[in-house]
Amino acid sequence: MHIQLTLLLLLAMVSTPAPQCKANLPLAGPCFVVHGRMRAYNGNPTFRIWRIGTDRLLGVTGAQPGEDPIMPDNLGCDFDHDVYADFEVCPFTAERPGVMQRVCVVSAEKRVIVQRTEDKVTAGEKR
């Protein structure tokens, strides 16, 4: 009996679907498309989208700060690769000047994955 209950609980944990971006409540506003570059950073949130042509960064998070980011698994972004795309995102927080807006990612269209290169500047050199 205990083994069956344990197996049932394990099966329920495995079959729990990943959170969906648009299904998360509460969202702070309507979803929107942004042309940008997703990059992995050392810090929180790890994944951030730079809105090309601006100084704005969008932080890709879960519904609450510190939760795993909600985004498609196959984006291709990691510490060695950036992703340029038209990202459909949904905001968890309102846009405020000087504050990183938290979002989840629904999709990425027209994706271009770029290998990140090492910074070749050595100590004492000017850029």
Enter the pTM of the model.
0.77
CB neighbour list of residue 105: distance below 8 Å, 6 or more residues apart:
21, 38, 49, 60, 69, 70, 71, 72, 75, 87, 88, 89
Residue 115 has, within 13 A of its CA and on its CB side, a CA count of 2
Per-residue model confidence as pLDDT tens for the chain (127 residues): 555 545 444 444 444 455 688 886 789 999 999 999 999 999 999 999 999 999 999 999 998 888 899 999 889 999 999 999 999 999 999 999 999 999 999 999 999 999 988 754 444 444 4
